[in-house]
Amino acid sequence: MRIVLVGPPGAGKGTQAAYLAKNLSIPHISTGDLFRANISQGTQLGQKAQEYMRAGQLVPDEITIGMAKDRMAQPDAEAGFLLDGFPRNLGQAEALDGILRETGTKLDAVLDLEVPEDEVVRRIAGRRMCRKDSSHIFHVEYTPPKIEGVCDICGGELYQREDDKEETVRKRLEVYHTETEPIIDYYKAQGLVVTISALGKVPEVTKRAMEALGRVA
Ligand code: AP5
Ligand code: MG
C-alpha cells in the first residue's frame, strides 16, 4: 500500500506510523525524521533544514522533494510506503504525483488524523522522543516511560524536540492551516481521503486507522 498520513503537528502521526507500518509491512518515511537525522549527522542538508525547522517553517521544496524522492526510490519502498509529513503543501503534492507517475504507481489512501487544537498542544508539550530511534515516542503524562528520561524499548536517551517550544508550535500550527490543509482538498478531489478521529488511547486509534484503511484497500 501507498499511504499518506496527514494531520496537525502533535496529532500522533509518528506514533501511529510506527504501528501501521509494522502491521502493513511497509516502511515509515517521515521527512521530519530524515531532517533530524541529517541535523544530528551534521550534513549540509541538515544545516540548511535546521534554520527553517527552528522557526517552525517549512523547509524549501527544492531540498525536501529531492530528499523524499531518494528515500522512496530505495528498495524497501518498492512495494509501498507510509509517508508521514510529506507532502506538506500543494507543490509537494503535485511533485509526489509526478514521482508516482514516473514509477507507474499510485496512492491508495490519504489518512487524515483529526485532533482538536488544545489536545495537540497538550500532546506536544509532554512529548519525549528517543535519540536512538525516532519511532520510539513517549508522553510524560499519557504514555510515560518506566524510567524518566530513558526509552523503555531500547534504553536510548529521551529528549524534548527543539521545535516543541510554545512559540514555535504556534507557528507550526499556523503553517499547517495555511500550507498543509489545502492538500486535503486536493486529495479529496481524487477520492483518496479517509478521515478518522485521533482521540483516544494509542491502540484504539491504530484499530480505527486499520479499519478505515481496510475499507479503501
Ligand atoms: P515533523 O517532524 O513532521 O513534525 P510535525 O508534522 O509538526 O508533527 P509532529 O512530529 O510534531 O507530531 P506527530 O503528529 O508525529 O505526533 P507524535 O506521534 O510525535 O516536522 C518537523 C519540521 O520539519 C517541520 O516543522 C518542518 O520545518 C520540517 N519538515 C518536515 N517535513 C517537511 C516537508 N514535507 N516539507 C517542508 N518541511 C518539512 O505524537 C505527539 C505526542 O502525543 C507524543 O508525545 C505522543 O506520545 C503523544 N500521543 C500520540 N498519540 C496519542 C494518543 N492517542 N493519546 C495520547 N497521547 C498521544
Ligand atoms: Mg512526527
Q: Residue 21 contacts by C-beta under 8 Å, 6 or more apart in sequence?
A: 27, 28, 82
Sign, CA torsion 213/215/216/217 = positive
Q: Residue 206 contacts by C-beta under 8 Å, 6 or more apart in sequence?
A: 16, 19, 20, 23
User: Best of 113, 139, 159, 164 to mutate for ligand 1, by most ligand atoms within 8 A of CB?
Assistant: 139
In a domain, 110, yes or no: yes
Question: Which cell is 39 given?
Answer: 541535523
Percent of the chain exceeding pLDDT 90 equals: 97
Nearest ligand to the CA atom of 137: 1
162 phi and psi, to 5 degrees? -60, -35
Distance in angstroms (rounded) separating the CA atoms of residues 186 and 179: 12
The domain tally of the chain equals: 1
pLDDT of residue 35: 97
Global confidence as pTM: 0.96
Distance 76 CA to ligand 1 centre (A): 23
* Residue 72, domain CATH: 3.40.50.300
The separation between CA 84 and the C-alpha centre of its own chain, rounded to angstroms, equals 3
In a domain, 162, yes or no: no
Tens-place pLDDT, residues 135-164: 999 999 999 999 999 999 999 999 999 999
Nearest CA to ligand 1 atom 44: 127
- Give a three-class secondary structure readout of 137-200: EEECCCECCCCCCECCCCCCEEECCHHHCHHHHHHHHHHHHHHHCHHHHHHHCCCCEEEEECCC
In a domain, 76, yes or no: yes
pLDDT of residue 169: 95
What is the DSSP track for 81-108?
Answer: EEEES---SHHHHHHHHHHHHHTT----
* pLDDT classification of 170: cutoffs 50, 70, 90: very high
> Domain span at residue 75?
2-115+180-216
Given a cut of 90, is residue 64 above it in pLDDT?
Answer: yes
In a domain, 175, yes or no: no
Mean pLDDT of 39-51: 97
Distance in angstroms (rounded) separating the CA atoms of residues 91 and 60: 10
In a domain, 120, yes or no: no
C-alpha Rg value of the chain to the nearest Å? 16
In a domain, 55, yes or no: yes
pLDDT of residue 217: 57
Residues β-bridged to residue 15: none
Report the half-sphere exposure of 64 (CA within 13 A, side-chain side). 26
In a domain, 137, yes or no: no
In a domain, 49, yes or no: yes
pLDDT of residue 30: 98
Tens-place pLDDT, residues 77-126: 999 999 999 999 999 999 999 999 999 999 999 999 999 999 999 999 99
Q: Is 27 in the pocket of ligand 1 (CB under 6 A)?
A: no
Given a cut of 80, is residue 215 above it in pLDDT?
Answer: no
Distance in angstroms (rounded) separating the CA atoms of residues 88 and 115: 17
